Amino acid sequence: MNAARSNRQRPAVSAAEAVGFGGTPAPRQMRLISFKPIGKSGLAGLASVELGIGLRMHDLPVFAGGQNGPWVALPRRPALDRERRQRIRADGKPAFEPVAEWRDRETSDRFSAAVIELIRIAHPEALDQEAAA
């Protein structure tokens, strides 16, 4: 019976192990799917990325900068009033609300920096031109 037991194969990897929660699969990297330059009103462009877990995020707004240079936000949807028209903020700009959010600022900043780095590698001129404008 011990011989039969030793010849058994290891059980299939669970879903949790497959995505890195409890197992040691090789980590996958985030990759840039596309970048569409816009260059209007501080919006440098829109990026689409695929995370290491296979999640694809489309049309991430890439902003030209500020004190810390270019940065990436998660997509937002228009905030609607009762008549289903987009609300306007007190400053006269359209209002938007989050679709998703990071649990903390540190995670948000790491994600933004990683996407910016991917854009700089694939499109070195895209963010430099926006900074010069």
Q: What rounded mean pLDDT belongs to the chain?
A: 83
11 in a domain, yes or no? no
pLDDT band at 3 (very low <50, low <70, confident <90, very high): low
Q: List pLDDT tens digits, range 16-30.
A: 555 555 555 555 789
Residue-by-residue DSSP string for 96-125 = EEES---SSHHHHHHHHHHHHHHHHHH-HH
The total of structural domains in the chain comes to 1
17 in a domain, yes or no? no
* Position 131 pLDDT exceeds 50: no
CATH number at residue 42: 3.30.1120.40
14 in a domain, yes or no? no
pTM of the entire structure?
0.71
Domain containing 63 equals 28-132
16 in a domain, yes or no? no
Residue 69 token pair: 């240079």
Positive/negative CA dihedral, 110, 114, 116, 120: positive
